[in-house]
Each structure stands twice: as C-alpha cells, then as structure tokens.
Structure 1
Amino acid sequence: MPKRQSRLLCSVALAAALAAGGVGPLTAPAAAAQPARNLPAGVPSSFADIVQRVAPAVVSIDVTRSAPARPNLPQLFPGFPFFFGFPGSPDGNNGTPSLPNARVSGSGFFITPTGYIVTNNHVVENATKVSVRTNEGRELEARVIGRDPLTDLAVLKVEGSNFPYVTFETNARPRVGDWVIAMGNPFGLGGTATSGIVSAYGRDIGEAYVDYLQIDAPINRGNSGGPTFDVYGRVIGVNTAIFSPSGGSVGIGFAIPAEIADRITKQLISGGSIVRGYIGAMVQNLTPEIAESLGIPGRKGALVAEVTPGGPGDLAGLRAGDAILSLNGQELTSSSDLTRRVGAAREGDRLRLEIWREGRRQTLELRAGRRPADDAPGVVNPADAASLGLTLRPLDQAARTQYRLPATARGVVIDAVSPGSDAAEKGLRAGDVIDRVGERSVAAPADVREAIDAARRQGRPSVLVRVWREGRSLFVPLRLTS
C-alpha cells in the first residue's frame, strides 16, 4: 500500500476512534479526560457515535407567549414608520396585526438528571406556558426557574429523575479550526445535528456580558438554546444567535462559551437570579482616535461617558472623560471587557482602576457594588404601578446597557409587560421608555406611581403615557385597573 494512502487511512481511523468516545455523564471517563490539544486532526469519518450518545440529553422546547397587537397609528402622520413593530421586527410581522398569543419553538438540553434544562432567555421570555419534548418523544410541562437577559440564558425545570444529561466543559476547549457539532430543533422539525469548525473566540457582537464563540456549523432558526459539542461530545457552548447578511435562516453561528454558561446557570438554579458587580459608570470603547486625542496612542480600554451619582465610581472620584486602562493590574481590551470583569466581581470586592486623566496615569480604588437591576428596591411591580401591567425600573447605566438605550433617553424603562394587559394589547414591550404620564414628566418609578395615584383621585379610568422607542415618541392611553 502506498505510504500516502496508509497515512490517510490511519488518520481517518484515529479520528473515528476518538469520535466514538463519549462525554461527561454520557461518556466514558477516559474520553472526557482527553486534553483539548489532543483533538483529532483531519476529517472524521463520522459523527454518528457522538450524536447517538449525546442526543438523548437534547430537547425541543415549545413556548406559548403573549404577542401584543399593534395599536392604531394616528392618521395625522402619513408615511410615519409604524411605531410599535416595524416591518420585519419580532412583533411587526410586516404590517399584519399580531394574534393575542403566539407559539415559538427552541432548543435546550438537560444538565442534571433531576430535570434542569438550559436554554436561551429569548426562547422563554414572556412565556405563559412552556413544554418540553424529549428525544424519545415524551412531552413534559416545564417551569422557568430563572432568566438572565444579559447573557441570554435561562434554566427550566421538569418533574422527574434519571434524565440523560451532559455537563459543561470548563477546563479544556477546542482550538480555532477544530471540529464542533451543533444540535437543536430547527424550524420545529425535531432534533438535528450539524457540524463545522471553531471559527474564533472572544467575538463581541454587542452584548456586554458575553464574548461569544463563533462556529461555522450551520445554525437554523429554532436551534437557539441547543448545545455545541466538541468531538468528544463535551458541551463547549450554548447556541444563541445567527447572523446572515442576506437575512436568511443560515449564517454565522455564535454560542455562549461553556465557562460563562456554567457560572450563570448555577446561579440561576441556586437563587433564580444573577448578582453582578457594579461601579456605576457608563462606558464606551477607547478607540485609537480617542486614545490619540488624549495623548495615549496605541492604548485600548474604556472611556467613561457618564458616572452614576452616589455609585461606587462616583464615591471613588471617577469622572466622565477618564480613560480606564486596566482593572486590578490587567489591561483592558474594550469597554465590554471592563463590563464583563466588573460584572463577575462580587459585591464588596476591591477593584483597582488605572486611569488616564489630564495627561497622566492615576490609580483609583473602590469596592464593587451590586448592580441595581438585581435589587428589588426601585422596581415597580405590576400591582404597585396601579395594575398598568408594567414592571418599571430606573433608567440607570445597567438598564441602558441591557436595552441599548442612548444617553439622551430620559424617563423610566419598561422591564416587563404582563400578558393580556392593556399595555400588552397596545404593543408596549420591555425596553420601551416612559418619559411622561398624564401631565407629568417622570424620571423614576416613584414618579409614575404618583401620577397614577393622581389620576385615580380625579376619577380617571385611564392615563396617557408618552413612550419612546428607537428615537420616536408616541402617546398611548392605558386603562387603570383595580
């Protein structure tokens, strides 16, 4: 046999042998212990053995949730873009009024034998009913244990035991160019598997708390929340997003790295919510042009655009215009890098910031606070908001980051809309900003409560609120209910 052919057959045989290994709880321990640098080279002859082993842990998720109808746009604005739900937007549907309820499908996977399931937050957000279909066809009702919009992760729970499950691989990861397998429930058709390679690590696609894993395994709509495996069947990520320049269903795939998903899901399971560190500053990237203008060419980091009064940064002397170059001695690569590292800190942790101010380096020390969005005070629940069906929160730096709101936006931000409420029927959604209720401008949730109380005292059945979204404002009347 020619040497070249012999080497090729050996390579294929090695890849097939390694691919036959299992993962974590569904895998042989010897295979799970393989270091990432020993991942097989060349083209595997088949992924069938891996898929067969891990597929039982992957589930399809069916969600029923409210789909707010679009309000009637006043006719005195001919040609004005439809405010609540532009054509092609998630609740726009190209001009067709939404139905009272909508059904969506996604993917997930068991991470414990007792029924805990990981999926994406956007799959179960505003859900009124969630059901899970297992690989063997069982349909189970599920409840949402916790959600984290900032990382797009959520945890569900179904009743039962001895479910097949997989675990996150946090100690080793494949190299750029190594094979990966993405599994999920595209288009609601049931479990499928696609393969590709790791394209890149540390991708920043606009989410402050996640540096994404990029893969080129085809990801179709409905694969959201499914697992990404390496060739040993270890979970190295959670499918979360696709980008298609042509607007189609298949494009560049992104996954939440396993180390982030593992940390977040453990917090959700233990407490139902996420606690993050906080310094109280709105930041932007320190671009080469900005760095040059400040006299520090070639440096990366974060530029402070706004400091929250009374926050940890303000108390430590941080100012707008400061360039933050490093955190605890480690250089920063971007504003997102700072946000993630501060978010990973615990309340009370000591943080040392190296800043550039007035042409020289300075050091500020502070103790991390707790992100206000994770605190109950300052949030108005639906009952406190006179049953408008809205959960409101202050428009602070955390809210601006989460909902990508500009510094010019003023008011209070809607954090949730109750299904079936008048607000839901009229198209209000999380991320909308309310800056006026009745004749009052509002700057805090308490202002909204006072305006509603005043309307009640006057015997009014509704209030007129001005809502801002994506640079445009519109008045919307909302009924008051007891």
Structure 2
Amino acid sequence: MKKILTLVFVSVLGGVITLSAYKLFLEKEDPITVQNSVEQPFFVPTNYKTNNANLVAAEHHSFVNAAEKTVDAVVHVKNTALVSAPMTMQDLFFGRQQSKRAQVGTGSGVIISPDGYIITNNHVIAGSESISITLNDNKIYDAELIGTDEKTDIALLKVEAENELPFITFGDSDAAHIGEWVLAVGNPFNLTSTVTAGIISAKARDLSGRNSQSFIQTDAAVNPGNSGGALVNTNGELVGINTAISSQTGSYIGYSFAVPSNIARKVVEDIIEFGNVQNGILGVSLLNTNSKEAIEKGLNEINGVYVADVTEQSGAEKAGIRTGDIIKKIDNIEISKFSDLSGYLKTKRPDDVVNVEIIRDDKVKTFPVSLSKTDILTVTFMKMELKNLSDERKLESDIDYGVEVVRNNNDWLSENLGMSSNYIITDINNIKIKSIEDISVLKQKYGANPEQYIKKIGLINKNGEREQFLIR
C-alpha cells in the first residue's frame, strides 16, 4: 500500500515539475489587452401583448370584412365601339367605303347608389356605341352614359334594375394616410371579383408633368381591367377609383394610381346636378420649384408653394393674396406642392369659400377666398389673349370645346384670317382645343416662336360659322 502511494506521489510531482518548466521556459507570453468599453446587452423592442389570435382577428377585420362589403358592388363594364376597319386593295379598286367593325373593351365600375348609378373611368367607355355591365351574380344590364369628365378621367353610368343594388359608400380621401391599408377591387384580365391588398404609398401624385393630376398612389396590384374599379379602406369605404399603373410592360410592376374619392364624388355630383363639371379656381399662378428662377431664389427649399402671380378680378386678388406669398394650408390641408393645391380645389365649385393660410414677411396670415370661375383665366399665344368658353357661349355656339379670343394683337392673323375678339379657336394642327390648358401645352411644345409650326387653324367666327384655314 505504501509503495502505491509513493508511486502516485512521484507521478503527481513529476507532472507539476514538467508543467511548470513548460510555462516558465517554453510558452510565449501573449500581450494583455485592456477593453475600455463594456459591451452592453442588445435589446429588441417587442410587444409581448400581441399573439397569433390577435393577428388573425386583425387580418379578418381588415381584409375579409372590407372585401365582403365591396365585392358585390364592383361590376364588369363592357364597351362596344364601332371603329374603321383597314382599307383593302379590293375596297380601293371597287371604290367601296371604309367598313366599320365592332371593337370590345372591358374594365370595371363601382355602384355608388342603390338605384343604379355607377362610376367608372372615362377611358373605359370612350367612343362607346353601347355599354353593358355585369354584376357579381352574373346579371347583365344595358347602361346609359350620363356624363364624363376627361380631365379627371371619370364617367357616370346608370342602369335600371328591378331591385335595389348593393353599393359602396364614399369615404373621405383627404383623411386617408400614407401607410394605410387599402384594397383594390376589380376585374383584371376579365377575372371577375378580384381583390388585392396594399398600402397607400403616396398622395397627390401627378403623372402628367403639368400639375393637372392628383392621384393616390398604392402598391396594391392593379392590372388591365382594373380601371374604373374600387380602392377601399379597411372599413369598406370608397377612397379612390383605380385609373392607371406605372409600368413599362403594361401590367402591374409595383405602383398603381387612383382618382381620390373626394374628387370623383364631386365630379359625379356636378354631372347629375349641372350636366358638366363646375371648376372653381383660386386665381394664382405658382412658381415651379424646379425652375431656374426658383432655385436661384432658394424657393425650391420652401415648405409650401410660392405665389408668382395673382389673376386680376379673381377671388385671391379680392381677398388680398399677393405675389410673393407662400401658401401653406387650405382649409387645414397641408400644401407642399402644386398637386396638393389642385387636387383639393377639384373638390370645390365656383363661389365656395376656402381659408388660405399663407406666410408673408415671416408672419402667418389666413384669408377667406371665394373661388372664381375658370373663364376669368387667360393665356397669351401667338400675340392673342385667349380664355375658356363660358357655359353660355358653349350653348350659344352649340359646342362643348374651344377657347375664345379676348384680344388679338397678331396683325397677320387679323388681316389674313379676319380673326378678332369673340372668335372661337376649335383646333390647331388638327388637335382639338378643349381649354387654355391645351394652349399651354402647345406653348411648351412649340417654344417662343409657335408661328413657324402652326399649319392649320379651325375657327368659329362671329356669325357662328365654322372655318378652316391653312397657313403656308
């Protein structure tokens, strides 16, 4: 036993001596690094109150209920138009007239009243000879076209049904928020009753580049056939009419655009009450924030819109708004760009009063402004002062488009065409002139010397006679 203990002791002692010798003579000494900072634990913000049951209930409330409220009130719209068929060699040889053929287009529509009023896009029914709508239960009705507005791309239809129809209630598109969930309901690719979900990505979007549009942008999937369909919030209320997509392929690739419901509602109310759309204007011209002048003045960095000019006899002038004022709000609606302003004003009529909040000399002021009719606006083109036709002049001339010559300082047009005040210009270079906005587009297109590009002008003279002039 003593021999065993002695052997164990000797073994342990030998191991200690060997390890000590290695540490002392062979192992290299590592430098000691001192950390001045102490690593803190990483916390992820977490809501422990949320559970799967809550998520399921929220999704059911947000999407299922909204879809159930709206899907039966969105209809399939079929537009049948007669278009000219291509001329054949036989037609030319035998002197036959160009034949007509039926062309069918499709889209969506939204029932907005139990007695059968339906809202859709103007481009869905443009050029139609007949229109039919199909309900979600496959019932088919012939539809009457009540009226259209090309500027907002809105059209109003009416069907006569034996029973009250399901309909969608208008919501307040001004109250819709970026990031809010929305559903797009429509008939893409002729697939009826299709519902897609997304969020509002932006508001007051302008796709034209002329500050004439104010779309709601969403990432809900919208494809050909969705046009005229409903954009609804999680309560099933109509906040927009799906109208356009941003795409290089013609199909959905990320974003779609809807006419805000407040604009659409005002358009259809005007069509029903007046037969056309009543547009009210503030009477100010705004400086483009991307222009050279704005950049030089530092106005591209302002939070608001800069008043570059005030129209004479307009509501803005009468209220006291001046050139140099910066418009910040209208009726508590934040104004940061022109499309914010134009979009809100499209929900108003002439003589409506809006409260305009401006900054002048670093002070905030508010002016109540009575909106004016568009026929007070004028534009200068080819040394002529032009304005929109009044409703009275349209009725008198039996025409629903054109611009009136207020003053003509163009001697050549006066001497050779007899053009003077009260003449109506109906078309230029075979382009129909609907308003002074079309004249503004021509000014941008032709530049400072449009005379060299103008080859043809259509007129209505003081006697109400139509004339066409070729300019060589």
- Cα pair 1:291 1:300 within 8 Å, conserved: no
Partner of 2:72: 56
Partner of 2:110: 109
CA distance in 2, matches of 1:371, 1:278: 6
Match of 2:245 among 229, 242, 245: 242
Look up the equivalent residue of 1:170 and give its one-letter code: D
Partner of 1:407: 443
How many residues end up aligned between the 2 structures?
Answer: 368
- What SS does the aligned partner of 1:228 have? strand
Q: Deviations over 1:270-303 (max 9, x none)?
A: 3332211135666552337533434656325556
CA distance in 2, matches of 1:282, 1:343: 16
1:190 Cα shift? 2.5
CA distance in 1, matches of 2:49, 2:281: 59
Aligned CA distance change for structure 1 residues 409 and 56 (closer, same or farther; 3 Å): same
Partner of 1:194: 196
Look up the equivalent residue of 2:257 and give its one-letter code: F
- What SS does the aligned partner of 2:392 have? coil
Match of 2:280 among 277, 282, 289: 277
What is the correspondence of 1:37-436 to structure 2 with a 5 Å cutoff? Answer: 47-48=63-64, 50-67=66-83, 101-160=102-161, 161-170=163-172, 175-206=177-208, 208=211, 210-278=213-281, 283=286, 285-287=288-290, 289-294=292-297, 298-299=301-302, 322-323=323-324, 325-326=326-327, 332-348=335-351, 367-372=370-375, 375-379=390-394, 391-394=401-404, 399-401=435-437, 405-407=441-443
Partner of 1:9: 52
1:201 Cα shift? 2.7
CA distance in 2, matches of 1:332, 1:13: 38
Partner of 2:90: none
Look up the equivalent residue of 1:228 and give its one-letter code: L
1:119 Cα shift? 0.9
- What SS does the aligned partner of 1:218 have? coil
- Cα pair 1:318 1:364 within 8 Å, conserved: yes
Q: CA RMSD in A?
A: 4.7
Q: Deviations over 1:340-365 (max 9, x none)?
A: 455445434567796989xx999999
CA distance in 2, matches of 1:192, 1:365: 45
CA distance in 2, matches of 1:353, 1:4: 41
- Cα pair 2:206 2:212 within 8 Å, conserved: no
1:398 Cα shift? 8.2
TM-score by length of 2: 0.62
1:56 Cα shift? 1.3
Aligned CA distance change for structure 1 residues 248 and 171 (closer, same or farther; 3 Å): closer
- What SS does the aligned partner of 1:64 have? strand
1:465 Cα shift? 5.7
Look up the equivalent residue of 1:235 and give its one-letter code: L
- Cα pair 1:208 1:401 within 8 Å, conserved: no
CA distance in 2, matches of 1:219, 1:191: 13
1:223 Cα shift? 0.3
1:107 Cα shift? 0.4
Considering fraction of residues, name the structure with more helix: 2
- Cα pair 1:286 1:323 within 8 Å, conserved: no
- Cα pair 1:284 1:335 within 8 Å, conserved: no
Look up the equivalent residue of 1:62 and give its one-letter code: K
Aligned CA distance change for structure 1 residues 178 and 342 (closer, same or farther; 3 Å): closer
CA distance in 1, matches of 2:51, 2:241: 33
- Cα pair 2:289 2:295 within 8 Å, conserved: no
Aligned CA distance change for structure 1 residues 286 and 269 (closer, same or farther; 3 Å): same
CA distance in 2, matches of 1:137, 1:147: 26
- Cα pair 2:184 2:222 within 8 Å, conserved: yes
Give the gaps of 5 or more residues in structure 2. 1-45, 88-97, 376-387, 405-424, 427-432, 447-452
- What SS does the aligned partner of 1:205 have? coil
1:374 Cα shift? 7.7
CA distance in 1, matches of 2:212, 2:255: 20
CA distance in 2, matches of 1:165, 1:171: 18
Partner of 1:479: none
Q: Deviations over 1:29-80 (max 9, x none)?
A: xxxxxxxxxxxxxxxxxx4554344221110001123546799xxxxxxxxx
1:130 Cα shift? 1.2
1:149 Cα shift? 2.1
- Cα pair 1:182 1:239 within 8 Å, conserved: yes
- Cα pair 1:117 1:156 within 8 Å, conserved: yes
- Cα pair 2:288 2:294 within 8 Å, conserved: no
- Cα pair 1:273 1:374 within 8 Å, conserved: no
Aligned CA distance change for structure 1 residues 353 and 435 (closer, same or farther; 3 Å): farther
Look up the equivalent residue of 1:446 and give its one-letter code: N
Aligned CA distance change for structure 1 residues 208 and 149 (closer, same or farther; 3 Å): farther
1:6 Cα shift? 9.6
Aligned CA distance change for structure 1 residues 218 and 150 (closer, same or farther; 3 Å): same
- What SS does the aligned partner of 1:224 have? coil
CA distance in 2, matches of 1:57, 1:363: 42
**186-195 or 115-124, which deviates more:** 186-195
- What SS does the aligned partner of 1:263 have? helix
1:215 Cα shift? 1.4
CA distance in 2, matches of 1:402, 1:312: 24
- Cα pair 2:205 2:214 within 8 Å, conserved: yes
Aligned CA distance change for structure 1 residues 65 and 306 (closer, same or farther; 3 Å): farther
- What SS does the aligned partner of 2:443 have? coil
- Cα pair 1:302 1:323 within 8 Å, conserved: no
TM-score by length of 1: 0.61
Larger relative contact order (CA 8 Å, sep ≥ 6): 1
CA distance in 2, matches of 1:364, 1:50: 40
Aligned CA distance change for structure 1 residues 403 and 6 (closer, same or farther; 3 Å): farther
CA distance in 2, matches of 1:361, 1:195: 41
- What SS does the aligned partner of 2:132 have? strand
CA distance in 2, matches of 1:310, 1:127: 41
Look up the equivalent residue of 1:162 and give its one-letter code: E
